[in-house]
Amino acid sequence: RPLNSEMYKPAGQTPLWDGVGEAIERLSRNLDNPQTSYLVLVITDGQENNSNKHTAFTIKNEIKRLNATDRWTFVASGPAGSKPIFANAGFPVGNIQEWEATEQGTQFLSKNLQIGTQSYYNDRLMGATSSRSYFTTNASGITKDDLRSLPQASVRSWKVEHECSIQAFIESKGLTYKVG
């Protein structure tokens, strides 16, 4: 059933693990297509304090089981101090982000969710079926052979001579910097 304003009543009683469990249960009803991947995105400004059906332990077991299929991506964004809580519940560390419940924090969260989602869908277009680095970009595992396999027009390589922002560096090469 769709979420509506009558179902959402912020009152400090967050059944976080029950919500994650409910999402898993609903999405698991549609496992018949092996080409389908699942993205479960949890955003909270609080913490678990009202679940009846699920615990961090049961969610961790479900996430572990589903991650083994390489078709599920679990992402969480919560208040300061929540990263270890989500990590202990099985969310991959690269898929967890903390944010502050302020206007600036909300803007930070929104921008990073936009970048992460854009990256996730770009990866899906390239054949990836899950992500363990939704909020991180790490090129350390990319080899020269990986780059050679890409279309020539899509790859440019420059040596960075001194520390600077990525945007300033790209623009110094006469190119337009685009996020994502």
Amino acid at 32: D
pLDDT single digits (tens) 110-144: 888 888 888 898 888 888 999 998 987 545 455 66
pTM score: 0.70
Give the DSSP per-residue string, 119-146. Answer: HHHHHHHTT----S-TT----TT--HHH
Position 1, amino acid: R
Which has the higher per-residue pLDDT, 180 or 10?
Answer: 10
Of 52 and 154, which is predicted with more confidence? 52
Contacts of 40 (CB under 8 A, 6+ apart): 20, 23, 24, 27, 72, 73, 74, 75
In this predicted structure, what is the pLDDT of residue 163?
86
Sorting pLDDT into bands at 50, 70 and 90, what band is 10? Answer: low
Task: Give the CA radius of gyration of the chain.
Answer: 19
What is the distance between the alpha carbons of residues 62 and 40, in angstroms, rounded to a whole number? Answer: 12
Weakest-pLDDT range from 28-37, 67-76, 83-92: 28-37
Yes or no: say if 37 and 130 are a contact pair by the CB < 8 Å rule.
yes
Q: What is the pLDDT of residue 45?
A: 85
Q: What pLDDT score was predicted for residue 177?
A: 76
